């Protein structure tokens, strides 16, 4: 026989179960994760790099008798738990919280009045700050035309390539305007010197399991998982066409892409060996390569992404971070001043690029000569200027709390299409489009089912 507790649990909707789960986590958090109170403003961040970035500005605030700031670095899983537990239970969290894109979406579930962050829209407008910030960079931190966070970055995307290999072959990439051009012009590099029946190198570091890269290229083409009104839109002609093209790059005897993992010793060795020539490169990835692949210094250059169609967008976007003020803060005005001190600081904007290769979203700093300095790692290019030129052109994104789920289901669809293509020997992109529509429809249904079961969405439209 079922106990009364079992009957209650089985009767709960998933949304109600989530509410109860967060309430339990909140109660446990008070005991298991106590954060000692200290005088001053409380700011939670997830990046040790940001602690170093902000330290000089915080020291300057102390010198001018500004309120003390307790800067705490908390790992992403723990930060997300504490933030969401505080939002759902109305518990004290911090005066400012930095979150990355996939974390932030959870905060925008439900009607506007339930969002855990302070609405910054009117403050930004009244202080004339909206026009100072790159408009598309607000996207992931906005919901229903209201802004809940200041963007920390832009993260435009370029194409990085092994200039030493390309130039030695006499290939002129200035003629490459589209992905079709890229495939045609670069194809001679796919030679089989060791006669094993496979090319010694491939044109792109890209694979069907690379959900983030696939989303980046989908956004470049004008696709995506949600429309401008945050409505689910996975099963679309644009998404199917782009997915079919990407899968055609990864399958069959004429494939041009290869699996070259990031952040692994094996993947780094493949990059050093030139197993793939070109890579999707957001600005923050430049610093990763600089630190992890010093052997490639002077051998790499960047260029705008080839467009999907002539005259189309030559960039995309990957990743992002914001800072927001929780509604539970007792010092909202002071927290707002601190957020501006950090995010509108010209000193921090320069440090952000010179230390981390990241372009600031503050447009007034884009004329800084630092972006025109030759970067020896990238073959002496003024790499920063190339990123800045593309920054205002990044595609728009939404803040849906289901963005991560949609990405996961889209990756499942990509893998399913690739497996079907290999099994059936169908490698032409146009022939793969119907299969892509089928898998995207399945993915959209799975995501929509979860959305419809979530009680938090009631009143959100």
Q: 52-92, pLDDT tens digit by residue?
A: 999 888 888 777 777 789 999 999 999 999 999 898 888 88
Those residues whose C-beta lies under 8 Å from the C-beta of residue 96, and which sit 6 or more positions away, are 41, 42, 43, 44, 323, 324, 325, 329, 335, 338, 339
Helix 346-356 × helix 48-63 angle, to 10°: 150
Q: Which conformational region is residue 252 in: left (phi greater than 0), alpha (psi within -120 to 50 degrees), or beta? A: left
Q: Please write the tens of the pLDDT for every residue from 361-383.
A: 999 999 999 999 999 999 999 99
Q: Give the per-residue pLDDT at 60.
A: 80
Over residues 190-218, mean pLDDT? 93
Kindly give the residue spans of alpha helices, DSSP state H, lying in 189-331: 211-220, 237-250, 265-272, 283-292
Q: Is the pLDDT of residue 5 over 80?
A: no
pLDDT of amino acid 415: 98
Whole-number average pLDDT of the chain: 90
Percent of the chain at pLDDT exceeding 90: 77
- Go through the domains of the chain in sequence order and give each one's CATH number: 35-151+319-393 (3.40.190.10), 157-317+403-457 (3.40.190.10)
Q: How confident is the model at residue 132 (pLDDT cuts 50, 70, 90)?
A: very high
Query: pLDDT tens, 143-199?
Result: 888 999 999 999 999 999 999 999 999 999 999 999 999 999 999 999 988 888 889
* Banded model confidence at residue 36, pLDDT cuts 50, 70, 90: low
CA pseudo-torsion sign 302, 305, 310, 313: negative
3-state secondary structure at position 159:
strand
251 — phi, psi (to 5°)?
A: -125, 160
| 260 in Cβ contact with 205 (< 8 Å) | yes
- Give, in degrees to the nearest 5, the angle at Cα 102 between 97 and 105: 75
CA separation for the pair 80, 101 (Å, rounded): 12
The Cα–Cα gap between 345 and 365 comes to 10
Report the distance separating Cα 303 and Cα 290, nearest Å. Answer: 17
Q: Please state whether beta strands 41-45 and 142-143 pair in parallel, antiparallel, or not at all (unpaired).
A: unpaired
Q: Kindly report, residue by residue over 340-350, the tens digit of the pLDDT.
A: 999 999 999 99
């Amino acid at each position: 026989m079922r106990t009364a507790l079992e009957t209650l649990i089985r009767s709960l909707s998933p949304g109600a179960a989530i509410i109860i789960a967060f309430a339990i986590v909140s109660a446990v958090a008070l005991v298991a994760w106590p954060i000692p109170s200290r005088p001053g403003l409380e700011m939670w961040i997830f990046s040790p790099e940001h602690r170093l970035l902000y330290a000089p500005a915080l020291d300057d605030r102390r010198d001018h008798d500004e309120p003390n700031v307790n800067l705490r670095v908390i790992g992403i899983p723990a930060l997300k738990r504490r933030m969401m537990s505080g939002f759902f239970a109305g518990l004290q969290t911090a005066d400012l919280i930095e979150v990355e894109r996939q974390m932030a979406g959870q905060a925008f579930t439900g009607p506007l009045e339930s969002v855990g962050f302070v609405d910054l829209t009117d403050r930004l407008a009244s202080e004339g700050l909206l026009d100072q910030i790159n408009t598309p960079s607000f996207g992931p931190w906005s919901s229903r035309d209201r802004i809940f966070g200041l963007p920390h970055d832009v993260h435009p995307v370029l194409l990085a390539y092994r200039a030493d290999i390309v130039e030695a072959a006499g290939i002129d990439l200035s003629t490459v305007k589209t992905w079709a051009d890229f495939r045609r012009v670069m194809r001679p590099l796919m030679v089989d010197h060791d006669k094993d029946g496979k090319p010694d190198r491939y044109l792109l570091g890209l694979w069907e399991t690379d959900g983030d890269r696939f989303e980046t290229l989908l956004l470049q083409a004008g696709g995506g998982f949600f429309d401008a009104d945050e409505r689910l839109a996975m099963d679309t002609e644009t998404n199917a066409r782009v997915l079919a093209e990407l899968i055609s790059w990864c399958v069959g005897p004429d494939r041009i892409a290869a699996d070259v993992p990031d952040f692994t010793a094996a993947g780094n060795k493949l990059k050093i060996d030139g197993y793939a020539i070109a890579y999707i490169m957001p600005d923050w990835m430049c610093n990763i390569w600089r630190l992890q692949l010093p052997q490639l210094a002077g051998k790499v250059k960047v260029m705008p992404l080839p467009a999907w169609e002539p005259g189309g967008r030559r960039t995309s976007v990957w990743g992002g971070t914001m800072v927001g003020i929780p509604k539970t803060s007792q010092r909202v005005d002071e927290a707002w001043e601190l957020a501006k001190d950090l995010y509108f600081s010209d000193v921090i904007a320069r440090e952000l690029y010179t230390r981390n290769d990241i372009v600031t979203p503050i447009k007034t700093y884009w004329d800084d000569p630092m972006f025109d300095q030759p970067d020896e790692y990238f073959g002496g290019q003024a790499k920063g200027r190339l990123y800045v030129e593309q920054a205002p052109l990044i595609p728009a994104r939404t803040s849906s709390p289901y963005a991560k789920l949609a990405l996961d289901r889209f990756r499942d669809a990509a893998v399913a299409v690739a497996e079907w293509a290999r099994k059936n020997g169908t490698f032409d992109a146009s022939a793969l489009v119907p299969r892509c529509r089928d898998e995207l429809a399945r993915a959209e249904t799975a995501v929509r089912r979860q959305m419809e079961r979530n009680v938090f969405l009631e009143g959100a439209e």
